[in-house]
Amino acid sequence: MSEELRKNGIYTTREVRDILKISESTIKRLLKKGIIKANKVGGQYRILGKEVLRLISPNFEKRVENVYMKIKKKAVKVVNRW
């Protein structure tokens, strides 16, 4: 996709897959888990550009890292108690 990603643009799952360079199964998983919010129109998903931008922003990545570290710490505590 050569055009700039527009915040208020509306994209299909195929376009978002191409932008993010991910597989079809990955986009389905992101939609199912609610990581990417989308609306269904005529049986097909439509995704706002701001959702894609939110997903690739450094702030989102930092939040994911924080959640991961919390889960890791809990797992280590459980394993150490064994």
Q: Which CATH architecture has domain 10-81?
A: Orthogonal Bundle (1.10)
Kindly list the domain boundaries of the chain, sorted by start residue. Answer: 10-81
pTM for the model stands at: 0.65
Both tokens of residue 43?
């049986």
Residues 8 and 43: their CA atoms lie apart, in Å, by: 21
Read off the pLDDT of each residue in 17-44 and give the average, rounded to a whole number.
Answer: 93
Output DSSP code: residue 5: P
Q: Is the dihedral of CA 45, 48, 52, 54 positive or negative?
A: negative
Q: For 57-82, how does the pLDDT look when each residue is reduced to its tens digit (9 = 90+)?
A: 877 677 778 888 899 999 999 999 88
